[in-house]
Structure 1
Amino acid sequence: MLRDLSLQSLFMGLLTAFVGFASSFAVILHGLSAVGATEAEAASGLMALSVSMGILAILLSVWTRLPISIAWSTPGAALIASSGAIAGGFPAAAGGFVLCGIMIVIAGLWRPLGRLVAMIPAPLANAMLAGVLLSLCFAPVKAVGADPALGLPIVLAWAIAGTFNRLLAVPAALLAFTLVIIFGIDIPPGTMDRVVATLVPQPVFVMPVFTLAGLVSIALPLFVVTMASQNIPGIAVLKVHGYAPEPGPLFAATGVFSLFAVPFGGHAVNLAAITAAMCAGPDSHADPARRYWSAIIAGIFYIVFGLLAATVTLLVGLAPPVLIQAVAGLALIGAFAASASAAFKDAESRDGAAITFLVTASGVSFAGISGAFWGIVAGGLMLFLGHIRSGRGKSSRPS
């Protein structure tokens, strides 16, 4: 394994963890607070989720030798934020988190689900990935438009470094981001004192309480959203990059580690989609067999970020969110180009791929489930109708 480690994977792992944590931690805190968590419980939940997904990423990547990237359920956090507090408060919500984790484990052990996920056509999987990445790839342009003095140095560093060496493009963008934050952002007085005060992890134990409201309002919707918006697209992203893991054990593992996070306030972890494209793509390493190290490194940094959750959130909060998204968008332009090219390469599946791409990229959710899942469904339906049309055309030809 150590012979497979490279500087390229080391950097991509760090960037993956930074993007995964920084881009959505605010959504997690808001979601947990909305269902009744105190500020301390929400911070503890953020820490538990980050540590849990870091450990799981390391274990799965070592076990499979595949770049298995893990994330917290950002769509799930957005969903529970919209549901609001339930009877019984945060302990009842935690009971719902437990039930959700158990259902994810059961779904992972149910073989027909794994076979169904493995049947997703490659053009639709590529189109879904391109649709997921599209909005994030807009972020560099939006950053320049919002504040050229902050956004333009990041984009120029990426473009200039990439001209001489493609592997240096994203590191240069991250370095420019760091310099922009240091020299371009006004740091409020007393920030360093606050940083020192947050260095010690402060886990808070939450005793789950099982109620009907927790099952109906939290567990069932969280299960559906996490599976449809994260776990299934996560497998599709790995498939796009040439990896073919058995879905069931991966799903079950995310359910188990979700259960580990619940007693400390966490809601759910799952397979990653966007950051999976970073770890599984060619920028992680030219050799696909050595890219698993990027997911391992990301897992290590997720654990570090989790233990320092309060400090990291304080420091990252100083930067405009669009700058963080800009760095991620620049890192994913290559993945977007490759997936879009593969999605529309085959004329027979082009209509289905186009529908998948458009539905996914629209960002519209139906029944609380993100467009990534519905894009696959709509594209699959279009392919099915195309096969029927093709079959009727052949049958109508004179023999």
Structure 2
Amino acid sequence: MSPRFNFQDLAFSALIAGFVAVLVGYTSSAAIIFQAAQAAGASMAQIGGWLSMLGLGMGVTSIGLSLYYRAPVVTAWSTPGAALLVTSLPGTSINEAIGVFVFATGLILLCGVTGLFAKLMHYIPQALSAAMLGGILLRFGLDAFTSLQSNFALAGSMCLVYLLAKRVLPRYAIVLALVAGLIVAGLQGGIAPHGQTLTFAIPAFEMPHFTLSSILGIGIPFFVVTMASQNAPGIAVLKAHGYQLPVSPLITWTALTALILAPFGGFTVCIAAITAAICMGEDVHPDPQKRYIAAVAAGAFYLIAGVFGGSIGMVLTALPAALIHTIAGLALLGTIAGSLYRALENERQRDSAIITFLITASGVTLLGVGSAFWGLIGGGVTHLILSRQAWNRT
């Protein structure tokens, strides 16, 4: 494997696929990143810095790993992890939030270096991690439809366009829903531009602060969600398309990048799943060995987005809240459905999964620790008790 670029592998379809992957990634979850940064009390300049670091981190890793392995390795932030941060970070200082990022990415790096990834995921029943993710994301799904009450024309048009696009152009459903929302918001006069030009937000270093409550209540659930709901599906997508790459180095390099960027707000860099799949289809290139060009192109577009991360944050503040809530909820519908399916498909784990889901969705805080952690604890205890009873009956 040589990290050299072969210009003979260039194909316009691959460049377009890379652009679409980045467009879908940003339109589907940049709003969630924005909300997560706001929940931590970040200023607009800091939010721009976060988005810049994320774009640069994803760009460098997508280009580097794809060129080295000659495979379409697209990286991404953890959208489920960001959703967890939105619900868990309120009341937490930005320094504690940075401490959570450092702790969680450090654990992920440890899993990559030691090869513990597969073993660790084995000890946490898939049903429980899926149920916890479903509980975390429930709020976003509900917000997409409660927005109908505050702005029916805006949210309703976005939902309608999304459904119609899912019928005829499913790959672009989110993009088209966003376009519809922008048009309606513009006609309503709901877009409030700030008048700035494209700007690069200089990332600011924040000293991490570690507290037991934030590590238990946010750090551990963030680690579990990121590994189980972002890295694991990302590896699965690669394998499903015939790319048998070594898992540990992929986890190690992405986690190391995130660890370096964490004090500047780059909370995670993971193996992409949905956006990666866009770069792996037959329409990208007839030769699977040349589809890495699409991932390299995606990395280049990520770098551009990272350079102008401050402007992305500015654009998001100009949009009405109903638009942001609706696009975030619609983008996560598939993830919510998949999480609930995986949580409840195993009849033996159904009771423990539903308890995990309900505790997590409740938002309860006990001993200063958030609901995601207690959801895992409650579901885990239920699983152990019911499993032991089943074992005794046999």
Taking structure 1 as the reference length, what is the TM-score of the superposition? 0.70
Q: Structure 1, residues 130-169: CA drift from partner, whole Å, max 9, x if none?
A: 3333222223212212101211111111122333454453
Alpha-carbon deviation of 1:279?
A: 3.6
The aligned counterpart of 2:6 is: none
The aligned counterpart of 2:324 is: 324
Give 1:142's match in structure 2, choosing from 122, 141, 146.
146
Cα distance change on mapping 1:280 and 1:142 into 2, 3 Å: farther
The aligned counterpart of 1:397 is: none
Q: Distance in 1 between matches of 2:282 and 2:40?
A: 38
Alpha-carbon deviation of 1:350?
A: 1.3
Residue 70 in structure 1 maps to residue 62 in structure 2: no
Report the more deviating stretch, 120-129 or 108-117: 108-117
Q: Which amino acid aligns with 1:17?
A: Y
Q: Which amino acid aligns with 1:185?
A: G
Cα distance change on mapping 1:53 and 1:82 into 2, 3 Å: farther
CA contact (8 A) 1:13 1:279 kept: yes
CA contact (8 A) 2:57 2:266 kept: no
Q: Structure 1, residues 89-123: CA drift from partner, whole Å, max 9, x if none?
A: x8x99899878866764565355576223433333
The aligned counterpart of 2:347 is: 347
The aligned counterpart of 2:220 is: 228
Task: State the secondary structure of the residue aligned to 1:19.
Answer: helix
Q: Which amino acid aligns with 1:28?
A: A
Matches within 5 A, 1:152-191: 152-188=156-192, 191=193
Task: State the secondary structure of the residue aligned to 1:195.
Answer: coil
Q: Distance in 2 between matches of 1:370 and 1:60?
A: 35
Residue 123 in structure 1 maps to residue 115 in structure 2: no
Q: Which amino acid aligns with 2:24?
A: L
Alpha-carbon deviation of 1:177?
A: 1.9
Q: Structure 1, residues 59-93: CA drift from partner, whole Å, max 9, x if none?
A: 456657565432497566987874548xxxx8x99
How many residues of Structure 1 are paired with residues of Structure 2 in the alignment?
368
The aligned counterpart of 1:18 is: 27
Q: Distance in 2 between matches of 1:357 and 1:280?
A: 28
Q: Distance in 2 between matches of 1:99 and 1:127?
A: 23
Q: Which amino acid aligns with 1:132?
A: I
Question: Which 5+ residue runs of structure 2 have no aligned equivalent?
Answer: 1-8, 240-244
Residue 338 in structure 1 maps to residue 338 in structure 2: yes
**In percent, how many aligned pairs have the same letter?**
24
Q: Structure 1, residues 293-326: CA drift from partner, whole Å, max 9, x if none?
A: 9987765554333321222222221112331231
CA contact (8 A) 1:49 1:266 kept: no
Cα distance change on mapping 1:127 and 1:281 into 2, 3 Å: farther
Q: Which amino acid aligns with 1:141?
A: F
CA contact (8 A) 2:132 2:356 kept: yes
The aligned counterpart of 2:387 is: 387
Q: Structure 1, residues 189-241: CA drift from partner, whole Å, max 9, x if none?
A: xx47x322xx24252675x87xxxx6545xx7766666523332122125468
Residue 55 in structure 1 maps to residue 54 in structure 2: no
CA contact (8 A) 2:129 2:224 kept: no
CA contact (8 A) 2:59 2:302 kept: yes
Cα distance change on mapping 1:148 and 1:260 into 2, 3 Å: same
Q: Distance in 1 between matches of 2:329 and 2:313?
A: 20
Cα distance change on mapping 1:313 and 1:248 into 2, 3 Å: same
CA contact (8 A) 1:277 1:335 kept: no
Report the more deviating stretch, 302-311 or 366-375: 366-375
Cα distance change on mapping 1:333 and 1:200 into 2, 3 Å: closer
Q: Structure 1, residues 22-67: CA drift from partner, whole Å, max 9, x if none?
A: 323254266365xxxx875664455334422443355456657565
Task: State the secondary structure of the residue aligned to 1:317.
Answer: helix
CA contact (8 A) 1:230 1:272 kept: no
Q: Distance in 1 between matches of 2:293 and 2:130?
A: 23
Task: State the secondary structure of the residue aligned to 1:24.
Answer: helix
Question: Which 5+ residue runs of structure 1 have no aligned equivalent?
Answer: 395-399
Task: State the secondary structure of the residue aligned to 1:361.
Answer: helix
Q: Distance in 1 between matches of 2:89 and 2:164?
A: 43
Taking structure 2 as the reference length, what is the TM-score of the superposition? 0.71
Matches within 5 A, 1:38-117: 43-44=48-49, 46-59=51-64, 63=69, 65=72, 68-71=75-78, 74=82, 82-84=91-93, 105-106=109-110, 108-112=112-116, 115-117=119-121
